């Protein structure tokens, strides 16, 4: 699987960094690889975020059939869990979104899956759509997104406009 991303699953904090508290050093560098490091391969994909009536939808498109199959199997196995996404820049978390305000569904497509989050409540719908705008904006600026179900990464990747090199709302100019 040439289109996979290697991720470490030791928590939300970077490797060798701990939360400051009693008996811990706030700034320390790891001298060895921690025992029990848990690595996970997740497929690389392209995201397309768009607002719909009562919420938003996100199409996740994988590059090959193996990645597509893996993403669809992960979505099926983790169905019904908390859907969230983590937006990162240079490996550091910029924002995390938990889509708890709406009804979330993951449906398989030919090239990956379609994630929808909708709500009948006007305020929850607005929150969900604002999350969609925020994630799409950060991805258009070059951030990566990791889509998760029950805090288990399902896939990671860039937005469609980053892949084509065309920022959202701008058309390539002809010669």
In tens, the pLDDT along 86-127 reads 999 998 999 999 999 999 999 999 999 999 999 999 999 999
Percent over 70 (pLDDT), the chain: 69
Three-state DSSP class for 96? strand
pLDDT at 135 over 90: yes
- What is the 8-class DSSP label of residue 33? P
Every domain of the chain and the residues it spans: 41-157
Residue pLDDT, tens place only, 6-22 = 555 554 444 454 445 44
List Cβ neighbours of 60 (8 Å cut-off, separation of 6 or more). 45, 46, 47, 71, 112, 113, 114, 115, 147, 155, 157
Predicted local confidence at residue 17, as pLDDT: 47
Q: Is 62 helix (H, G, I), strand (E, B) or coil?
A: strand
Phi, psi torsion values for 32, nearest 5 degrees: -140, 170
Going from the C-alpha of 29 to that of each of 12, 33, 135, 170, the distances in angstroms are 17, 11, 31, 43
Structure tokens, 171: 């058309």
């Amino acid at each position: 699987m040439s289109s996979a991303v290697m991720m470490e699953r030791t928590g939300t904090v970077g490797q060798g960094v701990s939360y400051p508290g009693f008996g811990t050093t706030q700034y320390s560098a790891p001298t060895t690889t921690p025992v029990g490091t848990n690595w996970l391969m997740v497929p690389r994909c392209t995201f397309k975020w768009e607002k719909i009536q009562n919420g938003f939808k996100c199409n996740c498109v994988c590059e090959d059939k193996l990645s597509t199959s893996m993403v669809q199997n992960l979505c099926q196995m983790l169905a019904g869990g908390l859907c969230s996404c983590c937006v990162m820049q240079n490996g550091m978390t910029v924002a995390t979104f938990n889509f708890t305000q709406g009804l979330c569904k993951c449906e398989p497509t030919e090239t990956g899956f379609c994630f929808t989050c909708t709500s009948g409540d006007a305020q929850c719908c607005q929150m969900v759509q604002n999350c969609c705008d925020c994630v799409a904006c950060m991805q258009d600026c070059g951030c990566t997104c990791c889509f998760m179900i029950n805090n288990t990464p399902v896939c990671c990747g860039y937005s469609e406009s980053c892949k084509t090199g065309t920022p959202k709302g701008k058309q390539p100019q002809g010669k």
